[in-house]
Amino acid sequence: MKLTVLVDNNTLIDKNYYGEPALSFYIEEGHNRILFDVGYSDIFLQNASKMGLNLREVNYVVLSHGHLDHTWGLSSLLGTANYFGPSKKDITLLAHPAAFFPKEDNGEEIGMAISPEVLKRAFHVQTSKTPYWISNRLVFLGEIERTHSFENRKPLGKTKAGVEDDRMVDDYLLDDSALAYKTDEGIVIITGCSHSGICNIIDTAKSVCKDNRILDIIGGFHLLNPSEEALQGTLDFFQKLSPVKVHACHCTDLNSKIALSKVANLIEVGVGCVYQYD
């Protein structure tokens, strides 16, 4: 598997790439070509073009969750026929079903900008609360089991209560998920924001993949000015976990990265970085 960072808060490689407080990865795995999240805007398309990546080959768009900094790029994707050709129906859009629910915070819309009805006309939409295997080595984890008391304690805004229930309720981001890739050396976990808890995600990946070895974790850890309890719980977990390497980015603040670097092999991430796993 090869993973290229299309969008992140940081740009580390001097090739005039664009960055924004969002996330998008391009993943090549076997015959699959996957966009994992699509950022805020069209810069994932612009950066891909500068990198010489052929996005016409994309057959999966996987959404980690329904927030705007991971989904608003869908508008640019839908309007870019020169990248994706006339038939996007060949592309599977994969997400937790609640990713398509309205989301708001203090009266502002923070969810998807495109309705599920429009997306269903453009893509083959596949939703799953349970693990969904894209290939025999790459899996969408579905709904993450919440077991660590120090994670996901507070809601972030409001969301719809259910498919047939339009009440707006506290949003604990049940739609937040991740990918896991099985290698001979252990699991590679690919996250968006980890609202469900990075430790919860890791435990779910280990259970689904039936492997306790963690080769790498790349993505946002949702450690933005975390409470002392949340940060210390995460540090204790990672020290015991002992992953081979960690690529924390996007929604992971500097103090949290510094703290993580003391208990794990933390490597900086930015737009243009490429990682390969056998």
pLDDT grade, residue 47 (50/70/90)?
very high
pLDDT score for 163: 85
Ordered DSSP codes for 31-58: TEEEEE---SSSHHHHHHHHHT--GGG-
User: What's the fold here for domain 2-276?
Assistant: Metallo-beta-lactamase; Chain A (3.60.15)
- 103-159 pLDDT, tens digit per residue, is 999 989 999 999 999 999 889 999 999 999 999 999 999 999 999 999 988 999 999
- Give the integer Cα–Cα distance in Å for 197 and 176: 9
Beta bridge partners of 40: none
Contact 48, 12 (CB under 8 A): no
- Give the integer Cα–Cα distance in Å for 37 and 46: 15
pLDDT score for 90: 84
Average confidence score pLDDT of the chain: 94
Residue 51 has pLDDT above 90, yes or no: yes
Contact 249, 273 (CB under 8 A): no
SS3 assignment, position 136? coil
Domain ranges of the chain: 2-276
Residue 253 has pLDDT above 90, yes or no: yes
Q: What percent of the chain has pLDDT over 90?
A: 87
125: left (phi over 0), alpha (psi -120 to 50) or beta: beta
Segment (H or E) for 202? helix 198-209
Least confident residue range of 11-20, 59-68, 247-256: 11-20
- pTM, entire model: 0.96
pLDDT grade, residue 85 (50/70/90)?
low
pLDDT score for 56: 85
Residue 83 has pLDDT above 90, yes or no: no
